[in-house]
Structure 1
Amino acid sequence: MNILQALFFPPEQPGGVSSMVPYIQERFNKLGWPTELFSLPKRVRGKGQEAVQFETFDVALYEGNPTIDKYLQTYRDYVWWTKLRMSKSYDLIHAHHPIPALVMKQLYPDTPLVMTIHSSYERELILNGKIIEGGPEHRFLTSIYGELEAKTDRILTASESFRQYMTPYVKRPEAIHVIPNGFDEKRFKPISHENEVVQLITVCRLVPAKGLDILLHACAELKARGQGFVLHIIGDGPIRTELEQLALQLNLYDDIIFYGYMLHPEEFMPFFDVFVLPSRAEAFGSVFAEAALCWLALVGTDVGGIAEQIEDGTNGLLVPPEDPLALANALEKVISDPTFRYNLARTAWNKAKKVYSLQRVISQLKQVYLEINPQSEATE
């Protein structure tokens, strides 16, 4: 079976899709199923000129809105780039973003199409203060789910909570198949170490949705209690300056290191002790599984896919979102009790090895691919 994995932008960023899809390609190639990646280069802007038409709703009702117009122009650009660069046919296309999914079905209507919805763009925009719930951008972006349902042969997502999130926007939510993300274990090499001061680490894009303001306030509370720690923040984004200023205001600047963007943070994580990320929402939260595979204790918020990965008190700690005091209490537990911290990390590692293996993902995807294209037989 010849497979195309269609991404949005090239897989350059750590976490999420980029942590998995290139490794899916590698595994399928080894199995004898030739697999290629396709994406839109970031340099391609404003090239596409074709009108955009959808089957389940009228796009014209939303045109003229800057956010929606930008989305539609990206769709046109993807059409332009695909027509320019795609020169062969495939037995199956697996898209990992709504735009490539709908473009591929438009241009290759007879090719079976699988779509994995990895996250909610509209929810991220709301949490980051860019749009309002119920506004035209929100209505447009949630309408895309219905269009995907009408056009694709199978919709997948990474968590049960995200399937529930999509329920109001599709006709048959029960047909959405949940396949949690998986990770190539060879990338993660836990290292035995003993830090004199507990080292906290977070890895994410620096945007409001990730709740790093809550984390800084929790760290200020820890410092007031006399708990020693260093917080390492890996990632970049539009609120980095704001977070650095907040660290200064909270008298934390000497306790925090801002690293900026890092391509392979999993090479760095095993030297730390605790992974913490108080997200306001997560469809899955791949970085928690990655941190678990690095043998770190996990502290996260009781939202979305994070709550499906962490069993509170067993393989990590869960706290309510928007609650710096609860987060400080959880961090104090793992900082002050090395044995408890070690046991959480060990259990998290065991679960991640078992539940979030890439081999499990490959097996499940093979089954899906053969169900929607039974003419193609597996070649082991």
Structure 2
Amino acid sequence: MRLLQALFFPPEQPGGVSSMIPYLQERFTSPRWEMELFSLPKRIRNKGKEEIKFHTFDWTQYGESPVVQKYIQTYRDYLWWTRLRIHKPFDLIHAHHPIAGLAMRSVFPDTPLIQTLHSSYERELILNGKIAEGGPEHQFLVSMYRELEYCTDQLMTVSKSFRGYMAPYVDRHEDIRVLPNGYDERRFKPIPHENEVAQLITVCRLVPAKGLDVLLRACAELKKQGVEYVLHIIGDGPIRPELEKMAQQLGIYNETIFYGYTLHPEEFMPFFDIFVLPSRAEAFGSVFAEAALSCLALVGTEVGGIAEQIENGVNGLLVPPNDPVALAEALAGVIADPMYRYELARSACERAKANYSLSRAVHELKKMYLEYANK
């Protein structure tokens, strides 16, 4: 069977897609399976010119918005690039971004199409202050869910929480399949170690949706209480200068290290003790699974897919979003008790291996691919 994995970003870009899709290829290399990856290069801009029409709504009512205009132009570019680069047929296409899925359906209308939604673009834009809730951009983006439902043979997402989020925007939310990402265990090599001072690590794009302002305030509270720690922030983004200034103002700059973007943080994640990320929203939260497989204690917020990964007090700790005091209390507890921290980390690792292995994801995908290719 010839399979195409249609991405938006190239697979080396950070995020949930890059944590799984590139590692699928070797699992699908056999006489029975052949898989290719396809994405839109960053250099392709403003190439597409064709008129865009959707089946379930009229996008032009939102067309004055620059955000909507950019989205539509990117769709045109993806269509242009797809027609230019793909000439041979595939037995099935699995898309991992709305633009990729819509373009593939347009270019290959007779090929079975599976669409996985890994995150909520509109929710991120709202939390990051880029668009207004209920505004034209928001209405346009949530309208895309019904369009995708109309155009694809199977709509999928990565958590039950995100399926519930989509329910108001589609006709048959109960038909959406849930398949969390899978992670190749060989990438993660937990290392026994003893850090005299607890080492906290977070890995994310530096945007308001990730709640790093809450984390810095929580760390300031820890310092006020005399709790020793070092916070390592891996990632880059538009609010990095603001966060660095905030760390200085809170008096925790000496305890905080900003690394910038790193391609493979899992290579040195095992040397830390506690993974913490107080996100304001997460469809799944791939980095929690990666931290668990690195055998770190987990501290996260009760939102989206994070709350599906962590059972509070069993394999990590959950706190309300936007609550630096509660976050500081949770962190203080795992910092003060290394044995408790170890038990949380061990439970997190065991659960992640059981629920989020790449082998499990591959098994489920193969069954589904055969189901739709044989229809």
Supply the AA of the counterpart residue of 2:65.
N
Q: Which residue of 1 aligns with 2:216?
A: 216
TM-score, scaled to structure 2: 0.99
Moved more, 241-250 or 51-60: 51-60
2:273 maps to 1:273: yes
Q: How far did residue 31 of structure 1 move?
A: 7.0
TM-score, normalised to structure 1's length?
A: 0.98
Partner of 2:332: 332
Q: Distance in 1 between matches of 2:13 and 2:330?
A: 29
CA distance in 2, matches of 1:291, 1:23: 18
CA contact (8 A) 1:20 1:183 kept: yes
| Map of 2:73 onto structure 1 | 73
Cα distance in structure 2, aligned partners of 1:371 and 1:132: 41
Q: CA deviation at 1:180?
A: 1.1
Give the distance between the partners of 1:87 and 1:229, measured in 2 at CA.
Answer: 55
Partner of 1:225: 225
Shift of 1:14: 3.0
Residue aligning to 2:155: 155
Distance 1:143 1:306 in 2: 26
Matches within 5 A, 1:59-138: 59-138=59-138
Structure 1 position 368, deviation (Å):
1.2
1:17 is paired with a residue of what secondary structure? coil
The residue aligned with 2:36 is 36
Match of residue 355 from structure 2: 355
Deviation at 1:367, TM superposition (A): 1.4
CA separation in 1, counterparts of 2:258 and 2:30? 39
Taking only the aligned residue pairs, the percentage that are identical comes to 69
Letter in 1 for 2:229: F
1:31 to 1:131, Cα distance in 2 relative to 1, 3 A: farther
**1:148-297 → structure 2 map (5 Å cutoff):** 148-297=148-297
| Cα distance between partner residues in 2 of 1:56 and 1:14 | 32
Give the secondary-structure state (helix, strand or coil) at the position aligned to 2:306: helix
Q: Which residue of 1 aligns with 2:318?
A: 318
Q: Which amino acid aligns with 1:45?
A: R
Secondary structure at the counterpart of residue 29 of structure 2: helix
Deviation at 1:30, TM superposition (A): 4.3
Aligned residue in 1 for 2:15: 15
1:309 partner amino acid: Q
- Could you list the per-position Cα deviations for residues 119-139 of structure 1 after superposition, in whole angstroms to 9, with x for gaps in the alignment? 000000000001111100000
SS in 2 for 1:36: strand
- Partner AA of 1:341 in structure 2: R
Farther-moved stretch of structure 1 (15-24 vs 256-265) = 15-24
Give SS of 2:17's match.
Answer: helix
Structure 1: stretches of 5+ with no match in the other structure = 376-380
Instruction: Measure, in 1, the Cα distance between the counterparts of 2:9 and 2:302.
Output: 30
Deviation of the 1:264 alpha carbon: 0.2
For residue 62 of structure 1, what is the amino acid of its counterpart? Y
Structure 2 unaligned regions, length at least 5: none
User: Per the alignment, do residues 320 and 53 of structure 1 end up closer, same or farther by CA in structure 2, a change over 3 Å counting?
Assistant: same
Describe the SS at the equivalent of 1:156: strand
Please state how far the C-alpha of 1:32 moved relative to its aligned partner. 3.4
Aligned length: 375
| Deviation string, structure 1 residues 86-129 (Cα, Å, up to 9, x no partner) | 12110000000000100000010000000000000000000000
Aligned equivalents of 2:146 and 2:155: distance in 1? Answer: 11
User: Take 1:150 and 1:166, find their aligned partners in 2: how far apart are those partners?
Assistant: 14
Secondary structure of the residue aligned to 2:246 is helix
**For residue 251 of structure 1, what is the amino acid of its counterpart?**
G
Question: CA offset at residue 59 of structure 1?
Answer: 1.6
Aligned-pair CA distance for 1:46: 0.8
The amino acid across from 2:75 in the alignment is Y
Contact 1:14–1:264 under 8 Å retained in 2: no
Give the Cα–Cα distance (whole angstroms) in 1 for the partners of residues 358 and 70 of structure 2.
35
Structure 1 contact 270–295 (Cα < 8 Å) conserved: yes
Distance 2:174 2:330 in 1: 36
Deviation at 1:221, TM superposition (A): 0.1
Is the 1:283–1:304 Cα contact (8 Å) retained in structure 2? yes
Q: Using the alignment, how far apart are the partners of 1:68 and 1:151 within structure 2?
A: 20
Distance 2:337 2:150 in 1: 52
Give the Cα separation in 2 of the matches to 1:220 and 1:32: 56
Q: Which residue identity does 2:369 align to in structure 1?
A: Y
